[in-house]
Amino acid sequence: MNNVKLAPYKRSSSMKSVVDTMDTRISTNIGGLGRRYYDQLSQDLDKIIQVDVTNGVTETKGSVRGRAIQLALEMRSRGVSENDVIVIVSRTHADQTVVVLASLFLGAIVAPLNPEFSYKESLELVKKLKPKMCFCDIRMVSQMERIMPMLSHAAELIHFGEKSGSCVPFSKLFAHKESEYFQPVFIENPVITVAFILPTQGTTGNPKLICLSHQNVFGQTALLLHIFNYPDKIISFFPLCWIIQTALTCASFEANVMRILPGAFTERSACKIIHDFEVGYAIFGTDYAMKLISNVAIKARILSLPDFIESNNFGAKFDFNLNCLKCIMIGTVNTTKYDIQQLKTLMPHVKYLQCYCLTETGLIAASTIRNYAESLEKPDSVGQILCNGKIKIMDLDSRENAGPDRFGELYFKGDGMMLGYFKETDKTLAAMEKGYFKTGDVAMYDEEGWLYVQGRLEDVITRDDRRIYAIELENIILMHPLVKDVAVVGDSKQVVACVVRKRDTSLSVEKLTKFISERVPSYHMPTKIVFLDGFPRTTIGSVKRKILREELLTIKIEYSSSFTSINVD
């Protein structure tokens, strides 16, 4: 089967009540991802598909396939079989890719966890997963060594690197020679068989584990390639546990996409890698994209060099040319039209592709290279509904289907739907209604199928029987020239605006309050403004509003030997 080509968006005849783009189905006869990628990687063996910037490792399809076969043989000899769970807790690097492929060859389930999870979060998830093997890098060794004795079953701990403590070094798993007789497991029903278990980001509560089928991930990979129109070389700083990063990893097996694997994100390192490797495509999300354009090397291109040096009171050498960059995927967090304006001003030659994606549903909407010109006319949209999906908007009061041009809770069904939450049937059933997944996001679509998201349902604040959408108030506050970032949280009694000021600026509560009051009705006014240095964020840039709510809205009870006082501040 050749690379999958998806049809463009088609307007449904039922547009008035739902957006239905299920016209183009993806073939399910793939025999599982392992069998699919084994065949795909057997062609053009010298094609480079990954470059690890941190250690200089460059690998071809033949190299990755060969190492994955060796690793799969060793894993099988150590007792790994079909449907066993393989946990990976590491940054994105070349060896991680080989573990993913080897696990799929064996029909095992890949369960990548976020290296940024706390010990408690990781412990609970690993205990639930009951993995056969755990692969981790140097940062996670000590944490995983603490977790292993807490498990009720035996699990082997593998360390990417040299021997460390009780870990088996990854390099010791390649004693087997690549065998021409090796055959990956054939998955009889890829539609209902689990391939990956991915965690949620934990922005609104404890992380949940989401089961995705072979067919699901195959479809998400096809959608990602469709959005970028089959990129040749792409970079992403995100972890494997994020659904788009999982799809990107699989895209390198599927369609000869060369992945540039960087280390930790910094503005300068991103600029240097893009320049050195002439990268044309990037998945940054809005947060990283905004940080990228803050680099002095990029700002210098807008001003003449003498003016720039004078305005910043320093001299500098600018040696990065980012003209090779064609597209950046943004939108992993809410993106304002002001973000878009700034991005287009500082790097006008780049196409900024918005996307809207949940792990439970996969990619729901995006602006693509093909419809980019149209997306510029809809800067508030997160993109157009993608094929193989169906959505409807439920009124927040009546819970009836609201139709187009009205905000309500977004429901989704389609090929990207999860199989369910791992070992949590009750939560799975609670998240579903008549075949639709209840996203918990407030959204609207227009007559052309473009989607507009107002944030999470829990971010809709109700005070005095009036609804306040946090994102609307945030956009007003962001208009102030001294405000860098803002997050609004609230309940029936309080509306708290958490504000990050721009560097080396002074902005008082009184001045910001006056600015807001001139632009919003009185019932939209925050009851409190708090200045912070930054926000707690997930690895994909989403603000952990749960933490802000707990710190700023929860009533704190302080005990002493003589009295109990309640402090609402």
Interatomic CA distance for residues 109 and 107, integer angstroms: 7
Q: Do 149 and 31 fall within a single domain?
A: yes
Q: Pick the last residue of a domain from 213, 241, 265.
A: 213
- Where in the sequence is the domain holding 476, given as residue range(s)? 464-567
pLDDT the model gives residue 559:
39
Q: Summarize the confidence of residues 511-526 as an average pLDDT.
A: 91
Query: Which band of pLDDT confidence, cut at 50, 70 and 90, is reported for residue 314?
Result: very low
CB 434 within 8 A of CB 394: no
Pairing of strands 48-52, 258-261: parallel
CB 389 within 8 A of CB 451: no
Q: Pick the last residue of a domain from 458, 479, 509.
A: 458
Query: Which band of pLDDT confidence, cut at 50, 70 and 90, is reported for residue 8?
Result: very low
SS3 243: helix
**Is the per-residue pLDDT at 503 higher than 90?**
no
pLDDT the model gives residue 78:
96
Percent of the chain exceeding pLDDT 90 equals 60
**Is the per-residue pLDDT at 4 higher than 80?**
no
CATH number of the domain at 551, please: 3.30.300.30
pLDDT in tens, 398-451: 899 988 999 999 999 998 999 999 999 999 999 999 999 999 999 999 999 999
**Who wins on pLDDT, 444 or 560?**
444
Q: Do 414 and 524 fall within a single domain?
A: no
147: in domain: yes
pLDDT the model gives residue 33:
96
Q: Do 56 and 205 fall within a single domain?
A: yes
Phi/psi for 184 (5° steps) reads: -65, 160
pLDDT the model gives residue 550:
84
Q: Summarize the confidence of residues 498-519 as an average pLDDT.
A: 92
Q: Summarize the confidence of residues 444-461 as an average pLDDT.
A: 90
Global pTM reads 0.86
Q: Summarize the confidence of residues 225-247 as an average pLDDT.
A: 95
Query: Which band of pLDDT confidence, cut at 50, 70 and 90, is reported for residue 1?
Result: very low
551: in domain: yes
Of 102, 132, 104, 113, the residue nearest 197 (C-alpha): 113
**Who wins on pLDDT, 9 or 563?**
9
**Is the per-residue pLDDT at 15 higher than 90?**
no
Q: Do 510 and 500 fall within a single domain?
A: yes
**Who wins on pLDDT, 424 or 154?**
424
Dihedral (Cα; 297, 303, 304, 307), 10-degree rounding: -100
Q: What is the chain's length? A: 569
Query: Which band of pLDDT confidence, cut at 50, 70 and 90, is reported for residue 299?
Result: low
Q: Do 161 and 75 fall within a single domain?
A: yes
pLDDT the model gives residue 554:
62
**Is the per-residue pLDDT at 17 higher than 80?**
no
CA 5 to chain CA centroid, Å, is 23
**Range with lowest mean pLDDT among 103-107, 175-179, 192-196:** 175-179
Q: Do 90 and 183 fall within a single domain?
A: yes
Secondary structure, 3-state, 245-286: HHHHHHHHHHCCCEEEECCCCCHHHHHHHHHHHCCCEEECHH
Span between the terminal Cα atoms of the chain, in Å = 62
Query: Which band of pLDDT confidence, cut at 50, 70 and 90, is reported for residue 341?
Result: confident
The DSSP annotation for 34-98 comes to: HHHHHHHTTSSTT-EEEEETTTTEEEEHHHHHHHHHHHHHHHHHTT--TT-EEEEES-S-HHHHH
CA quadruple 423, 203, 366, 51: dihedral sign: negative
240: in domain: no
**Range with lowest mean pLDDT among 363-377, 511-525, 541-555:** 541-555
275: in domain: no
- Whole-number CA gyration radius for the chain: 24
**Is the per-residue pLDDT at 13 higher than 50?**
no
**Is the per-residue pLDDT at 83 higher than 50?**
yes
Interatomic CA distance for residues 440 and 443, integer angstroms: 9
Query: Which band of pLDDT confidence, cut at 50, 70 and 90, is reported for residue 34?
Result: very high
SS3 511: helix
Q: Pick the last residue of a domain from 193, 213, 233.
A: 213
243: in domain: no
Q: Do 371 and 454 fall within a single domain?
A: yes
493: in domain: yes
Q: Summarize the confidence of residues 136-162 as an average pLDDT.
A: 89
pLDDT the model gives residue 40:
95
Tokens of residue 49, six digits? 């598909």
Interatomic CA distance for residues 498 and 470, integer angstroms: 11
Interatomic CA distance for residues 44 and 256, integer angstroms: 9
Q: Do 433 and 511 fall within a single domain?
A: no
**Is the per-residue pLDDT at 300 higher than 60?**
no
Secondary structure, 3-state, 155-178: CEEEECCCCCCCCEEHHHHCCCCC
pLDDT the model gives residue 394:
95
Q: Do 409 and 480 fall within a single domain?
A: no
pLDDT the model gives residue 294:
77
453: amino acid identity, one letter:
V
Q: Do 144 and 66 fall within a single domain?
A: yes
Q: Do 174 and 39 fall within a single domain?
A: yes
pLDDT the model gives residue 301:
52
Of 54, 273, 205, the residue nearest 538 (C-alpha): 205
pLDDT in tens, 254-292: 998 999 999 889 998 999 999 999 999 999 988 889 888
295: in domain: no
**Is the per-residue pLDDT at 305 higher than 70?**
no
CATH number of the domain at 449, please: 2.30.38.10
**Is the per-residue pLDDT at 538 higher than 90?**
no
Query: Which band of pLDDT confidence, cut at 50, 70 and 90, is reported for residue 7?
Result: very low
226: in domain: no
Q: Do 445 and 471 fall within a single domain?
A: no
Reported in sequence order, the residue ranges of 281-345 that DSSP labels E, i.e. its strands, are 281-283, 327-330
**Is the per-residue pLDDT at 298 higher than 60?**
yes
CB 27 within 8 A of CB 1: yes
CATH number of the domain at 172, please: 3.40.50.12780
Domain count, the chain: 3
CB 263 within 8 A of CB 269: yes
pLDDT the model gives residue 316:
43
